[in-house]
């Protein structure tokens, strides 16, 4: 069994809607990472049947012809075995400082191409996906 959490932050949470630069992309990673930390701690503690936690962060992406379309900006998946190694107190400090490291250590992730391309400092995030989400 897996637990799926969906996060749809307001536009101001993900930076300016009209500019998909490092700020937006890093915000999407930060929201996905911090949500995955909280969700994994809660879901794995509450149910032994949960084997994987998946967090999707949605965003309204503008369309070139006008309007917008809601799509997944970032997804992070954490398996129970991986979470069993977490030091949740340390993650409270490290994840807000550098969400890229948490994403790289996840069992799987998938980034919207706009999110990936907008990362000015990709760090260990070398591709738009890892593993099976």
Q: What is the pLDDT of residues 27-85, one digit of tens each?
A: 888 889 999 999 999 999 988 888 999 999 888 888 888 888 888 999 999 999 999 99
Which domain, by its residues, includes 27?
2-130
Helix ranges, the chain (H): 22-46, 80-83, 88-97, 99-105, 113-118
CB atoms within 10 A of CB 31: 22
The token duo for 65 is: 């012809």
Closest among 93, 75, 79, 77 to 31, alpha carbons compared: 75
Count how many domains the chain has: 1
For the entire predicted model, the pTM comes to 0.84
Can you tell me the distance from the alpha carbon of 39 to that of 97, in angstroms, rounded to the nearest whole number? Answer: 19
Cβ-in-10-Å burial (0-12, 13-18, 19+) of 16 comes to exposed
Can you tell me the distance from the alpha carbon of 53 to that of 86, in angstroms, rounded to the nearest whole number? Answer: 14
């Amino acid at each position: 069994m897996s637990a799926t959490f969906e996060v749809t932050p307001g536009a101001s949470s993900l930076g300016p809607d009209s500019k998909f630069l490092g700020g937006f992309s890093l915000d999407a990673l930060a929201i996905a990472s911090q949500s995955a930390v909280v969700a994994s701690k809660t879901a794995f503690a509450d149910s032994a049947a949960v084997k994987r936690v998946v967090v999707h962060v949605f965003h309204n992406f503008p369309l070139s012809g006008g309007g917008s379309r809601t799509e997944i900006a970032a997804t992070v998946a954490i398996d129970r075995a991986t979470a069993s190694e977490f030091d949740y107190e340390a993650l409270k400090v490290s994840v807000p400082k550098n969400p890229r490291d948490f994403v790289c250590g996840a069992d799987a992730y998938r980034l919207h191409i706009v999110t990936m391309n907008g990362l000015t400092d990709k760090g260990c995030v070398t591709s738009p996906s890892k593993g099976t989400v």
